[in-house]
């Protein structure tokens, strides 16, 4: 009862209800919410603090930025959803907020498109060297459909494609990337896909701000070849996996294309099955039969490690 009273007190103000509706649509900065509500920054920040203190919203830090989204805490999230569902769909103030929200999303789309266009030539050049992405995704998708996924973590999420692929099979999907530009691209793509059960975070795959045993699947898709210390990334992935959970690595098999270091800044020229086995074993992961997908000058490898239960 105390939780419900606290929530109702926090929402006993029209602006805070508007903020709850907006933050159910995605992750937004204070400046974006200020624009949508048409109120001063101090006033909006005060409303956000009250909603956060009540557990209705959660804060996400990205460098000097702070983003807000609807809480994912089970008890409070259920109550928040019930309140949102009870609001009239034709409220004129909410309708105006959604028009301004569309403007914010359009601006994000423009920024994402500019960034993607600037880098697209290099990405297309690399894609021509290996098997089509659709064939890789078909294999990955079949893995995810084998059993239900509660919480899925994608390290180096990039455009958010893995979150989009897994989102329909999982209860919650989370993407982490160091690049704010790529996080913008991912958010736009996931909004366009209509995905609601996602979160995007800025973070370092070597130092995840995540408790132990949190996720049942962790994915590192075409990221490990950028890592100066792949074993550390695998160790962190294993740490946040639940016992019995799966780490899925998608990357290139060992190759001799030295130009990829200079052109694409690859730190590693792919990986052998033996290297992956060694790193899995060091971090309590059982190695399963790998999948090799040859195509062009590079072969894509898919490796799965299962976290062992502690004796």
- CA dist 305 and 244 (Å) reads 9
Q: Which residue has the tokens 């909004």?
A: 191
CATH code, 96: 1.10.10.10
CA within 13 Å, CB half, 33: 28
pLDDT score, position 45:
94
200 with 249, same domain: the answer is: yes
Q: Does a structural domain hold residue 53?
A: yes
Taking the whole predicted model, whether its pTM rises above 0.85 is answered as no
Q: Is the pLDDT of residue 296 over 70?
A: yes
Q: Are residues 31 and 138 in the same domain?
A: no
Same domain for 141 and 20:
no
- The pLDDT value recorded for residue 80 is 82
What would the pLDDT profile of 173-211 be if each residue is shown by its tens digit?
A: 999 988 888 888 888 889 889 888 899 888 889 899 999
Q: What is the dihedral of CA 135, 246, 167, 290, to 10 degrees?
A: 0
Alpha carbon distances (Å) from 304 to 124, 182, 241, 310: 27, 26, 13, 19
The pLDDT assigned to 123 comes to 57
**One domain for residues 185 and 286:** yes
| 295, 229: one domain | yes
Mean pLDDT throughout 150-165?
Answer: 92
Q: How far apart are the two ends of the chain, measured CA to CA in Å?
A: 41
Chosen domain end from 101, 116, 147: 101
Query: What region does 291 belong to: left with phi over 0, alpha with psi -120 to 50, or beta?
Result: beta
- Indicate if 162 and 241 belong to the same structural domain: yes
pLDDT tier at 295, thresholds 50, 70, 90? confident
Residue 18 lies in a domain: yes
Residues 135-140, mean pLDDT to the nearest whole number: 90
Overall average pLDDT of the 141-164 stretch: 89
How does residue 65 score in pLDDT terms, banded at 50, 70 and 90? confident
The pLDDT value recorded for residue 121 is 54
Taking 70 as the threshold, does the pLDDT of residue 301 lie above it? yes
Helix boundaries (H) for the chain: 2-10, 14-23, 30-37, 41-53, 74-86, 92-127, 133-144, 161-166, 180-192, 230-240, 259-264, 273-282
Task: Check residue 185 and give its pLDDT.
Answer: 84
167 in the same domain as 35: no
Q: With respect to residue 107, please indicate whether it lies within any of the assigned structural domains.
A: no
- Cα separations (Å) of 150 from 147, 160, 218, 266? 10, 18, 11, 32
Look at the block and give the residue holding tokens 């920054």: 41
Question: What's the whole-number average pLDDT of the chain?
Answer: 86
Report the phi/psi class of residue 26: left, alpha or beta, with left for phi > 0 and alpha for psi in -120 to 50: left
pLDDT digits (tens, 9 = 90+) for 12-63: 899 999 999 999 888 888 999 999 999 999 999 999 999 999 888 988 776 6
Q: What is the pLDDT of residue 5?
A: 82
pLDDT band at 81 (very low <50, low <70, confident <90, very high): confident
> Per-residue pLDDT for 262 more than 80?
no
* Whole-number Å distance between alpha carbons of 277 and 287: 6
Tell me the CATH number at 269.
Answer: 3.40.50.150
Query: Do residues 72 and 201 share a domain?
Result: no
Question: Cβ contacts of residue 153 below 8 Å, gap of 6+?
Answer: 173, 174, 175, 176, 210, 214, 215, 217, 218, 219, 237, 240
Predicted local distance difference test score (pLDDT) of residue 114: 62
* Predicted pLDDT at 256: 86
Q: Which domain holds residue 62?
A: 2-101
What are 109's two structure tokens? 């789309």
Could you tell me what percent of the chain has a pLDDT over 70? 92
Q: What is the sign, positive or negative, of the torsion defined by CA atoms of 264, 267, 272, 273?
A: negative
Express each pLDDT in 82-123 by its tens digit: 888 888 878 898 889 989 988 887 877 676 556 455 555 565
The residue behind tokens 């920024």 is: 111
| CA-wise closest residue to 186 among 210, 158, 165, 207 | 158
| 1 vs 306, more confident | 306
Tally the domains of the chain. 2
Share of the chain above pLDDT 90, in %: 41
């Amino acid at each position: 009862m105390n939780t419900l009273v606290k929530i109702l007190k926090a929402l006993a103000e029209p602006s805070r209800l508007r903020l709850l509706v907006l933050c159910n649509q995605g992750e937004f900065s204070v400046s974006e919410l200020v624009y949508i509500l048409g109120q001063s920054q101090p006033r909006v920040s005060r409303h956000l603090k009250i909603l956060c203190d009540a557990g209705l919203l959660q804060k996400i830090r990205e460098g000097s930025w702070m983003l807000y989204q609807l809480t994912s805490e089970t008890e409070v999230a259920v109550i928040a959803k019930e309140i949102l569902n009870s609001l009239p769909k034709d409220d004129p103030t909410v309708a105006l907020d959604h028009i301004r929200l569309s403007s914010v999303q359009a601006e994000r789309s423009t920024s994402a498109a500019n960034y993607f266009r600037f880098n697209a030539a290099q990405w297309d050049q690399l894609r021509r060297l290996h098997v089509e992405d659709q064939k890789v995704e078909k294999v990955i998708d079949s893995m995810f459909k084998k059993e239900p996924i509660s919480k899925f973590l994608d390290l180096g999420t990039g455009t958010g494609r893995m979150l989009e692929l897994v989102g329909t099979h999982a209860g919650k999907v989370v993407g982490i990337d160091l690049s704010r530009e790529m996080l913008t691209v991912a958010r736009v793509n996931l909004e366009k896909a209509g995905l609601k059960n996602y979160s995007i975070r800025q973070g370092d795959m070597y130092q995840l701000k995540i408790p132990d045993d949190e996720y049942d699947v962790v994915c590192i898709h075409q990221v490990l070849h950028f890592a100066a210390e792949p074993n550390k990334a695998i160790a962190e992935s294993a740490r946040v996996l639940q016992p019995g959970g799966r780490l899925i690595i998608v990357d290139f098999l060992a190759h001799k294309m030295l130009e990829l270091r200079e052109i694409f800044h690859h730190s590693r020229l792919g990986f052998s099955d033996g290297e992956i086995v060694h790193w899995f074993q060091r971090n309590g992961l059982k190695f399963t039969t790998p999948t090799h997908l040859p195509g062009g000058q590079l072969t894509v490898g898919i490796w799965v490690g299962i976290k062992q239960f502690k004796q």
